[in-house]
Amino acid sequence: MNVSISEAKAKLSELVRRAEAGEDIALTRHGKIVARLVSPATKGLLRRIGAFKGSVSIAEDFDKLGPEWAEYQK
């Protein structure tokens, strides 16, 4: 849901209640999103950096080309 900042000032209590219920409220200024109201329960979903740490591995020979690429390596 997109809400202008001026409208958000008038309806802050309602918007906070809706955010607590899990709704994502985008605050806009001149039609551009400048902030979001989200439930603290959904805050954990925003963390993505390092999410796969320890679960992804790269083979030691990942950068070695097979014999079928020999003609391109000349």
Q: What is the 3-state secondary structure (H, E, C) of the chain?
A: CEEEHHHHHHCHHHHHHHHHCCCCEEEEECCEEEEEECCHHHHHHHCCCCCCCCCCCCCCCCCCCCHHHHHHCC
Write down all domains in the chain, each with its CATH number in brackets.
Answer: 1-42 (3.40.1620.10)
Locus of tokens 């400048």: 34
Please give the pLDDT value at position 42. 52
Please give the pLDDT value at position 46. 55
Q: Show the low-confidence residues of the chain (pLDDT under 70).
A: 41-47
Instruction: For residue 36, give the nearest of 28, 44, 25, 46 by alpha carbon.
Output: 25
Q: In DSSP terms, which residues pair with 35 in a beta bridge?
A: 27
